[in-house]
Amino acid sequence: MTSGVLLGYCGAVLVGLGLFGLVTNPEILRKILAFNVLGNGVFLLFGVIARRGAAAGLGADPVPQALVITGIVVAFSATAMAVGLLVRLNKVSGQTIMTSDDPTNSGK
Amino acid sequence: MAPDAIVLSDATTADGYLLVLAIIFPVIGILLTLAFGGRYVERIALVLLLAGLVVAIAIFAAVLRDDQSLVYIVGNWKPPLGIALRADGVSAAMMLTIAVIICAIGLYARGEFGQSQATVPTRASYAFWVLLLAIWSGLNAMAVGADLFNLYVALELLTFAAVPLVCLKGYEETIKAALRYMLFALLGSVLYLLGIALIYGAYGTLDIALLSDRVRPEPIAWIAAALMTAGLLAKTALFPLHLWLPPAHAGAPPPGSAVLSALVVKGSFILIVRLWFDAMPGLLSFAAAQLLAALGAGAILFGSVLALRQARLKLLIAYSTIAQIGYLFFIFPLASGDSASTPWSSIAWTGGWLQLFSHAFAKAAMFMAAGLIAEAVGHDQIADLRGIGRALPVTIFAFGLAGLSLMGVPPSGGFVAKWMLLSATVMEGQWWWAVVMLVGGLLAGGYVFMVLGKALSSTTPPVLRVSIPRHSEVLVLAVALCAVLLGLVPLQPSEFLTIGRPDIHTTALQ
Amino acid sequence: MNAEMLLVLTLALPLVTLAGCLSRQFRRHVAVLLVVAPLPALATACLLADGSTVVLPPALLGLTLVLDRPGAMLLGAAALLWITAGAYAGRRFRGNPDGARFAVWWLMTLTGNLGAFLAADMVGFYLFFTLASLAAYGLVVFDGSPEAKRAAAIYVGLAVFGEALLLMAFVLMATATPDSSLLIGDAVASFATSPWRDYAMAFLILAFGLKIGLFPFHVWMPLTYSAAPIPAAAVLSGSAVKVGVIGLIRFLPFEVPMHNWGEVLVIAGLFSTFYGVAIGITQANPKTVLAYSSVSQMGLLAAVLGMGLSAGEKSAALVAAFSATFHVLVKGGLFLAIGVATPTKRGVWLVFVPAVVLALGLGGLPLTGGALAKLASKPLMGQGIVGVLATLSAIGSTLLMLHFLRRMWSSTTQSEARASLLPWLATALVAIVLPWILYSVVTDEPLRDAMLPKEIWEALWPVLLGSLASLALWRWGRLLPRLPAGDVIAADKGLVRLADASGAAMEKIDRYLREWPVATALLVGLATLLSVSASLGR
C-alpha cells in the first residue's frame, strides 16, 4: 500500500468522521469542528490527487495545491463567521445548542 | 468540425472586459466604503448599483448584437491552466435580471437602511449595503464562471454574504436561523468540493468546456456529479432539504428577504444546470432526471400546502418560494428528452429559465410589498390584515400582480413559463408533471387569494403606524410589472437563450 | 371609425374607465361610467360585419379579436344587459363611497366578459376567461357577509380548478396544431388528426361544463347568485356564464362528428336540466330559484350542442347562441326585477306582468323568444328520446318559473329602495323584441312559420301542463324537503375537515423533516440516491 493510497483512506475516514459529527452533535461548536475535520479530509484527498499528478519534474501537481490553499482560506473564514455567530447567539440567549426551530417565532 | 468554431471561445472577445467589470464593480464599492467610512456607504452603493446596471445592459446588448457569447480569458492564460469567463445567452439574461432586481432592492432599502446626512450610520445599515454589493458580485461571478472551482469560490462568496443578511436584525431567532443556514450551506459546499476533487482526480481539468469532452459515464463521474448536486441542492433548499429557508427568509429584513428569495437561491440552481447540461452532458440519465423532478414535485405540493397553513405573511411567502423552486427542476426531465435534438432548443429550456426570471421578479415584489405592509401596521399576521387594501392600494395591487405570476395567470411571465413547460410535458409524454404543475397552480391560487381576500375585505382599514411614501409603493409595483412584462415573450423556444450554447460543446471537440 | 378601431375600442373603453377609477374626479361619476363603458361593444355587435378581425401588436400580446355571428349575438345581448344593469348599479351606489370599489370589480369582469366573446386565439381567450372569472370574486364577496365569503371561496376555488383544466386543454390543442399556431380556428381544425384529441375534449368539456354549471359542477351557482348584490347577480348569471357557452361554441369541433363526446354532453346536459328543476322547486329564496333555473337552462343548451357535435351539424352553434342570447336578457332581467318588485299596483303592472311573460318564455310560451329558440333547435334535437326529453323539459321550466314568480311575489321585501324601474323595463323590452329580429339570422325558416297554429300548440301544451304542475306544487309544496342551496356542496364541511387534517399532517411531516439530523441524513442519502440513479443509464 503506497503512502498515497493510505493517505487517501485517511482522507476518507476524516470525511466520514466529520460528516458523522456534523449530523449527530447537537452542540454548535462541535458541528463547526466537525465541519473543519470534514474539510480537512477533502484537502487531504486533494493532496493525494496532487501527488498522483506528479510529472514534468515537479513533485506534485500544483493545481490541486492551489485549490487546497483557496479551500483553506474559505474554510477559515467560514469557521470565523460561524464562531462569531455562535458567540453572538450565546450572548443574546445563552444557548450553544442547535434546537429545532419553531418558525412562527422567527423575528418580526 | 468547422475551424471557425474553435476561435470563438478560446480568446477574449471584443466586449469581454465587461464581464470583469460586472464582477469587480461591487467589490470596488466595498473597498471604497472601507476607504471613505460608513457615512458614505449608501451613496457609494447606489452609484455602483447604477454602474452595474449599465454594465449588465451592455452585456445583454453585446450578446444580442453579436449572437455569440462574450468571453474573457483572465491574464491571457488559456484554460486548463488559466480561467475563462463566459457569458452566453442564459448568463446575459440572468445578469440583467439580477441587476434590475438588485437596483430595485437598493432603492427600496433606502427606506429602512438609508442614511440621512446628520445621523451616525448604524452597523446594520452599513452591513446591509456592503452585503448587498457582495451578493451582487457573487451572483455575477456565478453567472459568468466557466470553471468549476471558480464557481465554487463564487458560491462561497454568495453564501457568506447572504448569511449575515439573515440575522441583520439581531434577534435570537434570526441568529439561530443564520447559524442553521450557515452550517447547512457549508455542508453543501464541502460535498461540492469533494465532488470537484473526484472530478479533478479523474479528468485532470475543471474547465467546463474541456470537461464536457473528457467526461465519460463511469462510476467516478456519477458519484462526483451526485455529490456536487446534493451539495447544491442543500443551498437551493429543494425539498426535503428546505429546513433553513423559512426562518431565514422570514426573519431577514424585507430587502434582505427579497434578495435572498429572488436571487440567492437561484445562484446554486444555475450551477446545477451548468453541471448537468454543460460540464457533464450525456450523464443525466432518465432516472436521475425523474428523481430531481420528483423532488421538485414534492417541493411544489409540500411548499404550497404549507404556505396555505401559515399565519404570518412572510412565512407564507417563504414557503411559496420553496414551492416555486420546485418548478425549476422540471427542466431536467423535459429539456433532456429525446424529441428535441439538443436540450437548449427544446421549449422546456426556455420555459424553465423564464420561470426562474419571472419568479425572481414576482418574489422580490412580494417580499417588498410584505415589508411595506409590516412597516405600516407593525406586524405581519395575515388574519389582522383585513382591509389593508384600502390603506395601501398600490402595494396590494403589486402583490396581486406578483401573485398572478405565481399562479400562472396571463398576462405574466409565470403563465408563459407554465404554458411552455406544459407543452414540453405533452411532447415528451411525461404527463404526470403536468398534473403536478396544475395542482401547484391551484394551491398557489389558494394562498394568493387567502391574502388578497383579507386585504380587500370591506371592513374599515387598520390604522397605519407609519405612512408609507408613495415612491416605495410605486417601486414595488414596477418590479411586479416586470414579472408581467415577461408575459410578452412569444410562446416558442427562445433564440436568445440558445446563444453561445454550441460554443461550449464544439470547443470540447478539439 | 373603421371596424378595427371599433373592435379595439370595445375592450379599450372599459379598461380606460377602470384606470380612471384611480382618480377621485372620475369616481364621482361612477354611475355614468358603468353605463357608458359597454357602449362600444353594443356598437360593434350591431354595426360590424361578420368576420371583422383585428390583430393587436405584439406589445399587447398579439391578441386576435374576431367577430363571428354567435359572438356578435352574445356580445350585443351582453352589452345591453351590462348597460341596463350598470344603470341599476349606478343608481344603487350613488353617493356610496363603496361604489368605486364595486366599479373596479365590475369593469374588470366586463372587460373579461366582452373579450371572451371576441377572442380568436387561445391565449387571448384564456386571458379574458380568467379575468372574468377571477374579477367576479370581488363582485360576489362585496357584501362581506359570512355567506358571501363562503360563496366566493367556493366560487373561486372551482373557477381556478376550471382554469387549470382549460389551460391543459389549450396546451394539448396547441401542441397538436401544425406550426403551433394559437388561433382557435387552426386548433379546432387540427382536432381530426390530433393524437390527444380525447384528452383535449375531456378537459374542454369539464372546464366549460364547470363554467356553465353542468351537474355536478353547478354547486357554485346557487350560492354565488344568492350572495352577490342584485346587479352583480344579474350580469353574472346573464352574461358571465355565457363565456362558457361561447367557449363550447368556438372550441367544439362540429366539423368532426364526435359521437361519444356528443353523447356525454347530451346526457350531462339533460340530467342538469331536470336536476335544476327538481332542486329549484324546493328553494324559497327567489335568487336561488333563478340560479337553479340557470342550471337547468344551461343544461338544455349543452344538450343542443351535444346533439350538434354528435351529428356534425354546424348549425348547432348558431342555435345555441340564439338560445343563450335570449337567456342573457331574461335571466339578467329577472334578477333586476327582484330588485324592483313591490306589491303595489304599479309594481304589479310594471314588474310582475312583464316578469311573467319573460319567465314563461324560458318555458317556451308561444310567441316569446323561448319558443323561437325551441323551434330553432327542434331539427337538432330530433324525434327520438332526446327530442321527447327536451319537450318535457319545457314542463319543468314552466313549473320552476312559476315557482319563482310566486317566491318573488312573497318576498318583495328583497326589493331595494331607490331602485329605478327603467333598467328592468328596458331589459324586458329588448328580451321580448330581440329574438324576433334575430330569428331570420339564425334559421332559414321564415318568421311566419313560428306563428302557425301547429307550432303555437306545440309550444303551448308543455306550458299548460307546467302550470297545472305548479298548482299542485302550490298545494302540496310543503311536503317537499328543504334542501340547502348548493345541495351537494353542503357536504363541504367534511371536505374542509379532511383538507384541514391532511394539512396538519403535512405540517407535522415538515416539522420532522426540518430537524437537523433528519435533514442532513437525507442530504447524504440523496447524494447516494443520485449517484445510483445516474448509473442507471438512459
**Domains in chain A with CATH codes:** 3-94 (1.10.287.3510)
The Cα C313–Cα C325 span in angstroms is: 20
- Residue A9 CA to its chain's centroid (Å): 17
List the one residue out of C342, A85, A55, A79 whose CA is nearest residue B179. Answer: A85
Minimal C-alpha gap between B159 and chain A (Å): 10
Percentage of chain B lying above the pLDDT 90 cut: 61
Q: What is the ipTM of this complex?
A: 0.93
Q: Chain B residue closest to A11 (CA)?
A: B194
Counting one residue from A and one from B, how many pairs have CB atoms under 8 Å apart?
A: 122
B140 falls in which pLDDT band (50, 70, 90)?
very high
Residue C53 DSSP class: E
End-to-end CA, chain C: 61
pLDDT at residue B209 tops 60:
yes
Residue numbers in A near B167 (CB within 8 A): 85, 88
Q: Is B196 on the interface with A (CB under 8 A)?
A: yes
- State whether B179 and A98 contact (CB < 8 Å): yes
Residue numbers in A near C516 (CB within 8 A): 23, 26, 98, 100
Better-predicted residue by pLDDT, B296 or C21: B296
- State whether B441 and C61 contact (CB < 8 Å): no
Ramachandran category for residue C449: left, alpha or beta (phi over 0 → left; psi -120 to 50 → alpha): alpha
For C99, the grid coordinates are 361604489
In the prediction, which pLDDT does B225 show?
A: 94
B370 falls in which pLDDT band (50, 70, 90)?
very high
The angle formed by the CA atoms of residues C290, C292 and C298, to the nearest 5 degrees, is 100
In the prediction, which pLDDT does A96 show?
A: 85
Please, what is the average pLDDT of chain B?
Answer: 88
End-to-end CA, chain A: 59
Residue numbers in B near C163 (CB within 8 A): 409
The Cα C323–Cα C240 span in angstroms is: 15
Residue numbers in C near B308 (CB within 8 A): 503
pLDDT at residue B1 tops 50:
no
Residues paired with C67 in a beta bridge = C52
Q: Which residues of chain A have pLDDT under 70?
A: 101-108
CB atoms within 10 A of CB C26: 18
The stretch B157-185 carries a mean pLDDT of: 93
Tens-place pLDDT, residues B2-37: 333 333 456 777 888 899 999 999 999 999 988 887
pLDDT at residue B175 tops 90:
yes
Tens-place pLDDT, residues B403-452: 999 999 988 999 999 999 999 998 888 889 999 999 999 999 999 999 99
H or E stretch covering B457: none
CB atoms within 10 A of CB A100: 13
H or E stretch covering C516: helix C516-535
- Residue C254 CA to its chain's centroid (Å): 21
Tens-place pLDDT, residues B82-128: 888 999 899 999 999 999 999 999 999 988 787 765 566 678 888 99
Tens of pLDDT, residue by residue, chain C (538 residues): 677 888 888 888 888 888 887 777 777 777 888 888 898 888 888 888 788 888 888 777 888 888 888 899 999 999 999 999 998 888 888 777 778 888 889 999 999 999 999 999 999 999 999 999 999 998 998 888 888 888 898 899 899 999 999 999 999 998 888 777 788 888 888 887 888 888 899 999 999 999 998 988 888 999 999 999 999 999 999 899 999 999 999 998 888 878 888 899 999 999 999 999 988 888 888 899 999 999 999 999 999 999 888 888 888 888 899 999 999 999 999 998 888 877 777 777 778 888 888 888 888 888 788 888 888 888 888 778 888 888 888 888 988 998 888 888 887 665 565 567 888 888 888 888 888 888 877 777 777 776 778 778 878 888 888 888 888 888 877 777 777 776 776 667 778 888 889 999 999 999 899 889 999 999 999 999 999 998 887 6
The stretch B223-250 carries a mean pLDDT of: 94
Residues paired with A27 in a beta bridge = A97
DSSP letters spanning B365-402: HHHHHHHHHHHHHS--BGGG-TTHHHHSHHHHHHHHHH
H helices of C119-194, in order, are 122-140, 146-176, 184-189
Predicted TM-score (pTM) of the model is 0.92
CA torsion sign for B373, B377, B379, B383 is: negative
For residue C64, the SS3 value is strand
Q: Which amino acid is at B507?
A: T
Residue numbers in B near A39 (CB within 8 A): 190, 193
CA distances from C423 to B143, C43, C100, C239, C336 (A): 62, 19, 20, 16, 8
H helices of C312-368, in order, are 315-340, 345-347, 353-363
- State whether C517 and A22 contact (CB < 8 Å): no
CA distances from B28 to B83, B359, C22, C55, C281 (A): 21, 30, 44, 50, 78
Kindly report the three-state secondary structure assignment for every residue of B173-228.
HHHHHHHHHHHHHHHHHHHHHHHHHHHHHHHCCCEHHHHHHHCCCCHHHHHHHHHH
The Cα A19–Cα A4 span in angstroms is: 22
Count of all residues that appear for chain B in the document: 510
- State whether C524 and A19 contact (CB < 8 Å): yes
Q: Is B183 on the interface with A (CB under 8 A)?
A: yes
B481 falls in which pLDDT band (50, 70, 90)?
very high
H or E stretch covering B502: helix B501-508
Which of B147, B174, B182 would best serve as a mutation to test chain A binding (most A beta carbons within 10 A)? B182
Residues paired with B87 in a beta bridge = B70
In the prediction, which pLDDT does C191 show?
A: 81
Residues paired with C183 in a beta bridge = C121
pLDDT at residue B508 tops 70:
no
Q: Is B127 on the interface with A (CB under 8 A)?
A: no
Residue numbers in C near A98 (CB within 8 A): 516
